[in-house]
Amino acid sequence: MRLGDKVALITGAASGIGRAAALLFARHGAAVVAVDVDNNAGEETVDLIRAEGGRACYCHADVSTGTGCRQMVASAEEEFDELHILFNNAGIMLGDDADAITTDEAVWDRTMEVNLKGVFLGCKYGIPALQRAGGGSVINTASFVAVLGAATPQLAYTASKGGVLAMTRELAVIHARQNIRVNSLCPGPLKTKMLMDYLDTEEKRQRRLVHVPIGRFGEASEMAQAALFLASDESSYVTGADFMVDGGLTAAYVTPDDSIAN
- pLDDT(257) > 80: no
Q: How many helices (H) and strands (E) does the chain have?
A: 11, 7
Mean predicted confidence (pLDDT) in 86-107: 97
Three-state secondary-structure class, residue 139: strand
Q: What is the pLDDT of residues 55-64, one digit of tens each?
A: 999 999 999 9
* Residue 255 confidence class, pLDDT cut points 50, 70, 90: low
Please identify which of the residues 125, 157, 198, 253 carries the catalytic annotation: 157
- pLDDT(51) > 90: yes
Distance CA 19, CA 42 (A): 8
Distance CA 6, CA 12 (A): 19
Q: What angle is formed at CA 209 by the lines to CA 141 and CA 151, rounded to 5 degrees?
A: 70
Per the CATH hierarchy, to which homologous superfamily does domain 7-237 belong? Answer: NAD(P)-binding Rossmann-like Domain (3.40.50.720)
Q: What is the pLDDT of residues 120-163, one digit of tens each?
A: 999 999 999 999 999 999 999 999 999 988 878 999 999 999 99
Q: What burial letters (b/e) apply to 64-76, b meaning 16+ CB within 10 Å?
A: beeebbebbbebb
Residue 117: DSSP 8-state: I
**At 58, phi and psi to the nearest 5?**
-110, 145
Q: Domain ranges in the chain?
A: 7-237
Active-site annotation holds for 157: yes
* Residue 10 confidence class, pLDDT cut points 50, 70, 90: very high
- pLDDT(70) > 50: yes
- Whether pTM > 0.75 for this model: the answer is yes
Query: Of all residues in the chain, what percent carry a pLDDT higher than 90?
Result: 84
- pLDDT(262) > 80: no
Mean pLDDT of the chain: 94
Distance CA 192, CA 167 (A): 25
SS3 per-residue string spanning 40-55: HHHHHHHHHHHHCCCC
Q: How far is CA 226 from the centre of its chain?
A: 11
